[in-house]
């Protein structure tokens, strides 16, 4: 996956869903819903400072519940992009009066609870869909 993330002619959309495909081979128009991760993936260095201060502990689905993770976490080892994501339904910080410890711990200011999902339209020649697991 790292090689795919670095390839100059491949666009990798994680936490995304294909909503519509029109066209034919060599000329597709694709609508993609990119879900918000509430962490700026271009700025996050995956240092882990935010996760260390997070008070929320949940079973880690990647490890079939045999280990735990925080409400802000790296989806799995060697994830691309190497950036954390917030499960906003588990997080207390989306109401900063309650928690927001991760916002304070992030020295680069990568956490933004005002992010929203975005719809992206791409014109591409080929589509590769990988479901994850």
Question: Does residue 51 belong to any structural domain of this protein?
Answer: yes
pTM: 0.81
| Residue 91, CB-side half-sphere exposure with 13 Å CA sphere | 26
- Tell me, yes or no, whether 49 lies in a domain: yes
Q: How many domains does the chain have?
A: 1
**Stretch 75-83: mean pLDDT:** 88
Q: Which domain holds residue 28?
A: 2-124
**What is residue 109's predicted lDDT score, i.e. its pLDDT?**
94
Q: Where are the beta strands (DSSP E) in 2-132?
A: 16-24, 27-34, 57-59, 68-70, 72-73, 85-86, 118-124
pLDDT value for 79: 87
Is 23 inside a domain boundary?
yes
Q: Within a domain: residue 93?
A: yes
Q: Is residue 129 part of a domain?
A: no
In a domain, 131, yes or no: no
| 117: its two tokens | 């999902």
């Amino acid at each position: 996956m790292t090689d795919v993330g670095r390839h100059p002619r491949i666009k990798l959309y994680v936490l995304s869903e294909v909503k519509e495909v029109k066209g034919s081979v060599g000329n597709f128009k694709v609508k993609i819903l990119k879900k918000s991760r509430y962490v700026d993936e271009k700025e996050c260095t995956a240092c882990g400072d935010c996760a260390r201060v997070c008070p929320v502990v949940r079973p880690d689905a990647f490890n079939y519940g045999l280990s735990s993770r925080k409400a802000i976490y790296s989806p799995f080892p060697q994830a691309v992009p190497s950036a954390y994501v917030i499960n906003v339904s588990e997080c207390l910080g989306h109401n900063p009066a309650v928690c927001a410890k991760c916002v304070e711990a992030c020295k680069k200011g990568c956490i933004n609870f005002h992010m929203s999902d975005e719809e992206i339209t791409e014109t591409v020649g080929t589509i590769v869909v990988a479901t994850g697991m």
